Amino acid sequence: MAKDTTDTPQGPQHVAIIMDGNGRWAQQRGRPRLFGHHAGARRVREIVESCPDVGVKYLTIFAFSTENWKRTQSEVAGLMRLFRRYIEREAKALFQDGVRVRFIGDRIKLDSKLVTLMDNLELYTADNDKVHLTIALNYGSRDEVTRAAQRLAVEIEQGRLSHKDVDAETLSRFLDTRFLPDPDLVIRTSGEARISNFLLWQSAYAEYEFLDTLWPDFTAEEFAKVVGSFGSRERRFGGATV
């Protein structure tokens, strides 16, 4: 979905979050990294539930990147178990809260049981419209753009599209995020000022907030504060102030 290029005087409609710092949070407590991921998952619920109160309609969260496979086998397996459990346990509450859940990222490398749970949750919540939660799982921007380019190439090869039709708008329609407006605000917790291959194309005009808070300590109050301070920013989308 293309971005409306007029100024947005109100809060951000779409917030994207890089939930970083689970490992350090656990280490500070002398616990294994997965303990931090479990605490992080509980925060996800709190933040999603607070979205209607702060006027955020679209929330996109980075749960697992295409680079996260490099972690130890036991951490990866633990995270995959956590995602399965999250879907099984949260589905009902998400549905009742009017949340529509969708996933972005390449599902090909994910275990088929997890993919079935993801598909079912998408179907189960498909008619909801209060909050649109998008979970990035095995997601990386370069991978997403590469897959989009491959699909575009097939369309051209088979004569359904001409190379002359390829512009930013067309490419956007081939991205995993085709159903989403561009993010207005990208938040990263844990003190790192990096984008880490997250929504690179979509965040061309987004504002960024890098917070020191570790993800498991990120509360709905802090979220409301960050979202609230967004309203005071002036966004020009490359234009000049008049």
Catalytic residues: 20, 68
For binding to ligand FPP (CB under 6 A), which residues are involved? 19-24, 33, 37, 40-41, 44, 61, 63, 68, 82-83, 86, 135, 190, 215
Single-letter residue type at 229 = S
Between residues 139 and 215, which has the closer beta carbon with respect to ligand FPP?
215
Report the residue number, 27 or 150, with the smaller CB distance to ligand FPP: 27
User: How near is the Cβ of 41 to ligand FPP at its closest, in Å?
Assistant: 4
Q: How many residues does the chain have?
A: 242
User: CB of residue 7 vs ligand FPP: minimum separation in angstroms?
Assistant: 32
Measured from the CB of residue 95, what is the shortest distance to ligand FPP in angstroms? 16
Q: Which of 189, 202, 227 is nearest to 52 (CA)?
A: 227
DSSP state of 165: G
Residue with tokens 């407590």: 29
- Strands (E) located in the chain: 14-18, 58-65, 99-104, 131-139, 185-188, 207-210
CB of 168 vs ligand FPP, minimal distance in Å: 29
How far, in Å, CA of 56 to CA of 40, rounded? 20
Q: Which is nearer to ligand FPP, 65 or 172 (CB)?
A: 65
Residue 236, exposed/middle/buried by CB under 10 A (0-12, 13-18, 19+)?
exposed
Nearer CB in complex with ligand FPP: 70/163: 70
